[in-house]
A and B are shown apart, each in its own frame.
Chain A
Amino acid sequence: MSELSVNHLLGIKYLNKNDIELIFETADHFKEVINRPIKKVPSLRDITIANLFFENSTRTKLSFELAEKRLSADVINFSASQSSVKKGETLIDTVNNILSMKVDMVVMRHPNPGASVFLSQHVDASIINAGDGAHEHPTQALLDSYSIREKLGEVKGKNIVIVGDILHSRVALSNIYALKLQGANVMVCGPKTLIPKHIDKLGVKVETNLHKALNWCDVANMLRVQNERMEISYFPSTREYTQQFGVNKTLLDSLDKEITIMHPGPINRGVEITSDVADSKQAIILDQVQNGVAIRMAVIYLLASKIKQ
């Protein structure tokens, strides 16, 4: 097994267990590379990658760009806010115009769920989904699992709780797929209004009491409340949300065991987690960011190796 089963990374839903294992093994090698005095390898020197961000991003965009540059790919960046999209150009037209400049791979973030799947059916390039609306964010889920594997040895059999705004979160859905595929036990925890109906069909437990959830888990992945995606109020006030679903040091100290805290960023300090938790040694938030580069290098390398010359 030395090849991915897919030509695009559209979502974790389309991957199998071997794909994830291969990505992790490749990421191990890249993690060693990015800790060298010179952190660059020439593998992708004949590949051009376009980063198309139709939605704002800091971390993911920087992480992808760094991964691409560490692999020696040529990189072009595109942000919707400064482009002809504002003038009424369609997605396919925009992308085809960019592809006619001989681009081999597209990394895309888009506010509409399914945008990357749609694109993969209509253009001739390898597509990586960097987040499509509230649907999937596969590289985030991969780096989350990779960070758990690094911290706890393996993902299989571990209890992971995803806390917060499950309804609007692509990170939650991708994480559920990835964790289930690797044999972890998954729970979601948050206000009832922010937990999608029928989510238990995905094989996850649902809990609305944070203290119970934290006592059950080995790892808590804290999500941000996505105010920008909320057209109506899902809870009475931020203060009330924090009281019920925010993690603070007192709460962590009251647990029976020491759990690991993750956060995909950006953190709203004082809302979903307090500063003393975010900066504690139980939190692996900055490890996640470092692993993100290695994971994205692995995904890009493995997909690029399937692009025929």
Chain B
Amino acid sequence: MGIRVGVDVGGTFTDFLIKDSEGDARIYKTSTTPEDPTIGFFNGLGKAAADAGQSLQQWLGQVETIVHGTTITTNAVLTGEGAKTGFVTTAGFRDILNMRRGLKERQFDIYAPPPPLVPRRDIAVVAERITSSGDVATPLDEQDVLRAAARFREDGVEAVAVSYLWSFRNDRHERRTREILERELPGVYVSVSTEILPQIRAYERHSTTALNAYVGPVLNRYLSKLRHRLEELGFGGTLLIMQSNGGVMSPDVAQRFASNTLLSGPAGAPQAGIHYGELHRFRNLITVDMGGTSFDVALVRSGAPSMTTEATIAGHRIASPSLDIHTVGSGGGSIAWIDAGGLLHVGPKSAGALPGPACYGRGGALPTVTDANYVLGYLDFAGGELKLDGDAARKAVERHVATPLGIGVVDAAYGIYQVVNADMAAAISVVSVQRGYDPREFVLVVAGGAGPLHAGPIARDLEIPLIQIPRESSVFCAAGMLISDLKHDYVHTYAREFDEVDLGAVAAIYRDIVAKAMQTLEAEHVPGHQAVVDYSADLRYVGQFNEVEVPAFRSGEFSRDALQALAAEFHRRHDELYGYSTPASPLEMINLRVSVRGITDKPVVETHAPHGRDPSGAKTGSRMAWLDGAWVDTPVYDGLGLFNGNVVPGPAIVVQPTTTILVPSDFDLACDAGNNYLMYRKGADVGELIRSLNGEVNL
């Protein structure tokens, strides 16, 4: 295997993780260049080439795969700078897209709704109607389509989305509309709902299709440029693009399904968790990534990350499957404040990168989590050359928290620390307890510069027995991207009551989907034996308006028995999620789903020889830290000096170039064979812990 490169373009930094054929990893970070992200992209590659003593061309010649996570589409939606988009829908139903189901998120506040993706003047209606049974009630009026095309041409529309009512029952009208539009509007990006999301629920389907069109041209321009430049430089390997569903795809597929990149920013994390857990065969993980402004949580169960079809971006729904990543506004830069009733809150407002926390000395005067960590002695640098200003941190905490609460500055800082920890623990509960999973059966995998300072108390709170902190925790998502499989999700609405299910029809739908999926994988050069197909179905009790996705037909046989097993699994899962089930009630089968994966070759997991238990070689000194209500002289270790088998007893602080780990006094920290850290309650037998979590000990 040649060199593999993960490139994760974030808001501030572009992260690079480069693995050579021996599995050795190198980390780079360059500044993100928002006006043209390819600049930051090639800056990083240039550095890597230079460190290898080669020209960029020479070096790229040995690169086998580049996996790229881009937020170019995400930013286009957040800033309202997507393509000028037209929308075509059924006459009489012009506004479903912009009604957004008539919801106002903050009901008691006076504020403005999100601007529409497509203003009403660019929404064209066409006389046509398919019924709920798929019959044509009103034939397609092609003149209406032509008129719409003429208007779009006149208005300089760059992309068009088409979504008719009930189109997933009969795609004839959408197919014909697409033909006409493509003929009439050459060069315009056209998305139709039957390709993007052939699924019941008009607003959700419209919105997903419109988002795809809105960001399609943006992603196309970006990828064309990137591929052109890579070609110029003689890159002959494979470029893969990260998706919101945690898989990767080829640029060709990405250009058609551009909306699949919208939530790809944090999507590398669960896969990274799986990768780092591999050494110990961990299958049940909760990954958390604490950055400057937010805290992202995802849950992995039996080696598979949780998915959702209920994501939103900037107030618009994306109903295609994406990783169920729960984000709350708790980051290092989150601001602490006291409400009018005298209660302390942290976030969601953040000081961001500018002015940043008070201790950055860039003009920030409000107390942040980072300031609290500084006051408490947990943190004395923030990575890079930044010199922290302790007086500023203390002043901010004193003025805005300690004085209003009538407590001391250290107590106030510790209060901020506790409140943000509790908020993060609550966020973990959302993806675990609230989804029917017990966090005590999971390993907490912690990433992000600030995460490892808070991991101990969070785990204690939720009684999570084991924490894993990857050494490459600061480029966690890039690491995840590097080892992600190709993955494509398909859905087709079936919508029948259970006793009316026609197994032949169901099998035919699944077969069609799988054939389509296999074609896509083939185009991505995935050999048949590396393709994995997972079937599932969305079920509900008759009368319900929400479904539960249940794995289905694992044997690949579409039999009555398999259907019964599916029903039983649904009742079980419903009970797990919602505290009850009613097995006597009739069921409905709403959506049929297929997820295909093209398994990619994974880099070798590098392991290191045991170094003995004694960590003293890495000890660099000590500093005063506020622990358990007192100032404690706390040993400080250099993380890069810790090796396989070393055990650091808490309390301790472990410092790495971009991360600091706090080992609370009731925790110990061990370095495993992958040179990652495991943290657990003092006195626990780490081997036993690993086994209790169904892992294999590899220390």
Q: Do A and B form a real pair?
A: no
- Which of A's residues lie within 8 Å of B, judged by CB? none
- Which of B's residues lie within 8 Å of A, judged by CB? none
